[in-house]
Structure 1
Amino acid sequence: FNPDFYIDITDVWEVKLEALKAFYRAQPFLESWYTNVARHRAFQARALSGHSEIEYAEAFERTRPWVGAHLPLNEL
């Protein structure tokens, strides 16, 4: 897995965590695992973007090339 874009999920983290708790009720250790992953992805996103306010992030890898009218650099 080589992520090539990151999404800041800091604003929705608490809602996402509550949903994960309900989903992973039978496997509670996954809550702390996912929290650690989201914090690690946030570290990567901060390092790449310079946005120090990112606390939690998800990473994705495109399976197809991105096509657009402009480079999304101003949206980082």
Structure 2
Amino acid sequence: MSASAAAVAPIPANAENRYEVTRADLPLSCPMPGMGLWNSHPKVYLPIVDDGGESVCPYCGARYVLSD
């Protein structure tokens, strides 16, 4: 695999249990942009600001924490 192909490879969707996100990532969705979608669940938007800075995806259980 070439270096350029590795640089654009998507992050595996639902591979982690906890993700730290910033306000630049808002509006927050799971899976996030840049994640591979072929083996993931439907996109769902998470109200992380309304949830006090932490949201959990109802499909995969990934926990998102707002770091700023």
Q: Shorter-chain-normalised TM-score: which range?
A: under 0.3
Structure 2-normalised TM-score? 0.25
Greater radius of gyration (CA)? 1
- Higher relative strand content: 2
Structure 1-normalised TM-score? 0.24
Larger relative contact order (Cα-Cα within 8 Å, sequence gap ≥ 6): 1
